[in-house]
Amino acid sequence: ATPDGRGGYLRSHNATHNKQHAATLLQFANHPEAWQTYLQWFQTLPLYLDLGSLRAVHACWDDDQNKWLKENNYSKLTNDLLQKAHENGSRAKRIIEETLKGKELNIPAEFVWYDKDGHARTANRIKWWVQNSGVNYGSLLFSCPPEMTDEPVPQNLSINIYPADAPLCLLAITGWMN
C-alpha cells in the first residue's frame, strides 16, 4: 500500500501478490477509510519490544539487527524504512525481512521443494532459537523436506542463534519460545 514515488507501489500489485492478500483486500473493498486507518495503525506498532526479562517480536529476534534499528531510530515501520527495505541488497531489507518474516537457510539443491502455489523453495525458515550444534535439519527448519529431516546440520553454519540464556521471547506468529 506504500507508494514507490514513481506511480506504483513498493510491492508490485501483480497477480501473485494480490492472490496472497485477496481475503484482506476483499474485506476492505467497500471500506477504504477503514483500510487507511489500519495501515496507519500498523505504523504505530513497535518492530520489537525489549522489556528486560521479556521480549516480543513478530518473527525473529536478533540482537545485532535490533541494535541497528535502534541506532537508526527505526523503532517502527516508517515510510522511510519501508523505502530502504525495498532496496535490493540493503541492510534494511535483510533486517526487515528477517524481523518480520524470519531467518532463512539455503538448502541443498537436491532438497528443493514446491509450495502450495507451485513456487520452488530453495531456502527454508529456521527456528532461530534452536542451538544448531549436533542437531538435524528436522529440528532446525520449519517446513523441512521429509528427505532432509534426519540429515545433520553442518557445524559451520553462520547463523545468529538466540542465546539459550537470553530472556523469554514471545513471537507474534508462532507462540512463545525460550
* pLDDT higher than threshold 70 for residue 51: yes
> Cα-flanking dihedrals φ and ψ of residue 93, to 5°?
-60, -50
Contacts of 24 (CB under 8 A, 6+ apart): none
Local structure of 124: helix, strand or coil: strand
DSSP string, 44-104: TSBSEEE-SSEEEESS---HHHHHHHHHTT-SB--HHHHHHHTSTT-HHHHHHHHHHH--E
* pLDDT higher than threshold 90 for residue 20: no
**Cell numbers of 157, please?**
553454519
Mean pLDDT for the stretch of residues 62-78: 95
Q: 128: how many CB neighbours lie within 10 A of its CB?
A: 23
Instruction: Please give the model's pTM, rounded to 2 decimal places.
Output: 0.84
Task: With cut-offs at 50, 70 and 90, classify the pLDDT of residue 141.
Answer: very high
* pLDDT higher than threshold 60 for residue 11: yes
Residues 22 and 137: beta-carbon distance below 8 Å: no
d(CA 112, CA 110): 6
Residues 99 and 59: beta-carbon distance below 8 Å: yes
Q: Which long-range contacts (CB under 8 A, 24 or more apart) does 34-43 make?
A: 35/1, 39/1, 42/77, 43/76, 43/77, 43/78, 43/79
136: amino acid identity, one letter: N
Task: With cut-offs at 50, 70 and 90, classify the pLDDT of residue 108.
Answer: confident
Mean pLDDT for the stretch of residues 120-130: 91
Residues 50 and 162: beta-carbon distance below 8 Å: no
Compare 156 and 145 and report the one with higher pLDDT.
Answer: 145
* pLDDT higher than threshold 50 for residue 177: no
The predicted structure's pLDDT at residue 37 = 94
Residues 161 and 128: beta-carbon distance below 8 Å: yes
Task: With cut-offs at 50, 70 and 90, classify the pLDDT of residue 98.
Answer: very high
